[in-house]
Amino acid sequence: MSNIINCLDSLTHWTAPEIADPSSIPHGDMPGDKVEIGQSHIEKAGVIFPQLVKHLKEVTAQNPHQRAVVAVCGGSGVGKSEIASLLGYYLSQAGIGSYVLSGDNYPHRIPSQNDAERLRVFRVAGLQGLVNSGVYNKEVQQQLAQLQAEEKDADKSLCKEYGWLSTYQKEGSQGLAGYLGSEKEQNFAELTQIISSFKNGSNSIFLKRMGRTPLELWYEQVDFSKVNVLIIEWTHGNSDRFQGVDIPVLLNSTPQETLEHRRSRNRDGAVDSPFTTMVLELEQRMLEAQAHKAAIIVAKSGQLLDYSQYRSLMANS
> Which CATH number do you get for residue 226?
3.40.50.300
pLDDT band at 3 (very low <50, low <70, confident <90, very high): confident
The domain of 131 spans 111-177
pLDDT at 313 over 50: yes
Give residue 270's pLDDT. 55
- Of 123, 130, 171, nearest to 151 by C-alpha is 123
| H-state helical runs in 159-306 | 165-177, 188-199, 255-265, 274-290
Is residue 62 one of the residues assigned to a domain?
Answer: yes
Q: What is the mean pLDDT of residues 128-136?
A: 98
Q: Where are the beta strands (DSSP E) in 158-244?
A: 204-210, 217-223, 229-233
pLDDT tens-digit series, residues 151-182: 999 999 999 999 999 999 999 999 999 999 99
Handedness of CA 145, 151, 153, 159 (dihedral sign): negative
Do 127 and 156 lie in a common domain?
Answer: yes
Number of domains present in the structure of the chain: 2
Say if residue 203 is in the same domain as residue 288: yes
Last-in-domain residue among 177, 199, 229: 177
- Are residue 138 and residue 91 in the same domain, yes or no? no
The confidence score (pLDDT) of residue 316 equals: 82
Whether residues 124 and 93 share a domain: the answer is no
Give the DSSP H/E element, type plus range, for residue 72. strand 68-74
- Beta bridge partners, 69, equal 230
Label the pairing between strands 204-210 and 217-223: antiparallel
* Burial label, 50 (beta-carbon count in 10 A; 0-12, 13-18, 19+): middle
Question: Global pTM?
Answer: 0.93
**Claim to verify: residue 14 and residue 135 sit in the same structural domain:** no
Asked if 193 and 93 sit in the same domain, the reply is yes
pLDDT score of 135 more than 80: yes
